[in-house]
């Protein structure tokens, strides 16, 4: 009986820790604002946490009533999860786009499992979800793993204001 009681106690402690809002690895992708800008300037997709998202994209705590873009060039924010097969399939395409559009746009990734507050605030209920943020104007969402040519068209038209010839 003592062994069962001890096992139950350990299980309860483990489940409390697992549900504490600080999932394992939540700090694993922690990056500074400067490092994020440097990496994206090199044409890399950058993994952000919600604190750096607030510095680089939208400070939803300071400006909760209105959208005020914090960046200097347009961005795409890819909301994903490691267990999501379409998210993983989209990853290489996002890497290619980051390189192709180096210096014109930045591509960030937000792990929805590690950033539940931000994901909830943004209304993420299905992934992958791509947030297209132009330098001026309102952002827009796209759901699903879109093909590269469709993503390029969306980048050109909605982020870079280039009309199709």
Tell whether 49 is covered by a domain. Answer: yes
Tell whether 9 is covered by a domain. Answer: no
User: What is the pLDDT of the chain when averaged over all its residues?
Assistant: 84
Which tens digit of pLDDT belongs to each residue from 42-63?
999 999 999 999 999 999 999 8
Tell whether 164 is covered by a domain. Answer: no
Instruction: With cut-offs at 50, 70 and 90, classify the pLDDT of residue 145.
Output: very high
Tell whether 65 is covered by a domain. Answer: yes
Tell whether 15 is covered by a domain. Answer: no
Question: How many domains does the structure of the chain reveal?
Answer: 1
Residue 118 clears pLDDT 60, i.e. is over it: yes
Instruction: With cut-offs at 50, 70 and 90, classify the pLDDT of residue 165.
Output: low
For residue 31, what pLDDT is reported? Answer: 80
Task: Indicate which residues carry an active-site annotation.
Answer: 84, 87
- Distance between CA atoms of 89 and 108, rounded to whole angstroms? 16
- Distance between CA atoms of 61 and 65, rounded to whole angstroms? 9
For residue 27, what pLDDT is reported? Answer: 43
Tell whether 10 is covered by a domain. Answer: no
Tell whether 58 is covered by a domain. Answer: yes
Which tens digit of pLDDT belongs to each residue from 67-80?
999 999 999 999 99
Q: What is the CATH number of the domain that holds 83?
A: 3.40.30.10
CB atoms within 10 A of CB 102: 15
Residue 21 clears pLDDT 70, i.e. is over it: no
For residue 83, what pLDDT is reported? Answer: 97
Tell whether 110 is covered by a domain. Answer: yes
Going by C-alpha positions, the residue among 10, 88, 73, 12 that lies closest to residue 40 is 73
Under the phi-then-psi rule, with left for phi > 0, alpha for psi from -120 to 50, and beta for the rest, what region is 24?
beta
Domain encompassing residue 110: 29-159
């Amino acid at each position: 009986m003592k062994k069962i009681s001890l096992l139950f106690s350990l299980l309860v402690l483990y489940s409390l820790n697992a549900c504490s809002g600080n999932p394992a690895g939540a700090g694993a992708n922690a990056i500074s604002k400067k490092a994020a800008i440097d990496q994206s300037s090199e044409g890399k997709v950058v993994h952000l946490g919600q604190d750096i998202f607030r510095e680089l994209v939208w400070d939803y705590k300071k400006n909760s009533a209105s959208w005020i873009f914090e960046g200097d060039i347009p961005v795409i924010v890819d909301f994903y999860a490691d267990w999501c097969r379409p998210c993983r399939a989209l990853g290489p395409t996002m890497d290619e786009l980051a390189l192709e559009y180096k210096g014109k746009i930045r591509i960030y990734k937000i792990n929805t499992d590690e950033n539940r507050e931000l994901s909830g605030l943004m209304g993420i209920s299905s992934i992958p979800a791509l947030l297209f943020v132009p330098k001026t104007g309102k952002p827009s969402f796209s759901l699903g793993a879109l093909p590269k040519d469709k993503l390029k068209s969306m980048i050109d038209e909605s982020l870079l204001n280039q009309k199709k010839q």
